[in-house]
Amino acid sequence: MSLRVSHHLLLCATASKAACCNPDVGKASWARLKEMVKQLDLENVERPEGVVLRSKVDCLRICSDGPIMLIWPDGIWYGGVSAERIEAILREHVIGGQPREGWIIRRTANK
Ligand code: FES
C-alpha cells in the first residue's frame, strides 16, 4: 500500500546530548507538534495533499538555537522552534505553502 505524503517534519527537541535547546522547551515543542498535527487533521489519509509525518530526531547537526525543525521535501530548516512557533509553521508553511522567513536558519536542496 502506498501512502501519499505531503511533508515530513523532523524535530530535534529532546536530543540525548540536549545540545541545541533546553530539554523542557524541547518537550513542550514536541507535545505541541503532536497536538497541532492532530487538531489540524494533517494525519488524515484522505487529505488530498497527502499526510504530514512527524518524527522526533536525536540531532540534526545544527546544535544551537533549537529546537530545530527540518521540513521535507522543502529543505527548510527552522531554528528556535518553541511550542509557540509550531502553529504558525504548520498553518503558514505546511498548509499555506508560505515558509516563515524570519525563522529560517538554513535551506537545502535535493536537486
Ligand atoms: S542536538 Fe539538536 S541539532 Fe544537534
- In terms of residue numbers, what domain contains 12? 5-107
pTM score, whole prediction:
0.95
What pLDDT is attached to residue 111?
66
Q: Which three cell numbers stand for residue 12?
A: 530535534
Strands (E), the chain: 5-12, 51-57, 68-72, 76-78, 104-107
| CA 18 to ligand 1: nearest atom | 1
| CA 21 to ligand 1: nearest atom | 2
| CA 59 to ligand 1: nearest atom | 4
CATH number (domain holding residue 43): 3.40.30.10
Closest CA to 69 of 94, 97, 43: 94
- Angstrom distance (rounded) from CA 15 to CA 71: 18
pLDDT tens for the chain, 111 residues: list them.
Answer: 789 999 999 999 988 888 999 999 999 999 999 999 999 999 999 999 999 999 999 999 999 999 999 999 999 999 999 999 999 999 999 999 999 999 999 999 976
Residue with cell 522567513: 101
Calculate how far, in angstroms, residue 85's C-alpha sits from the geometric centre of ligand 1: 18
Choosing from 10, 14, 20, 27 the residue with most ligand 1 atoms within 8 A of its CB, the one to mutate for a pocket test is: 20
> What's the domain count of the chain?
1
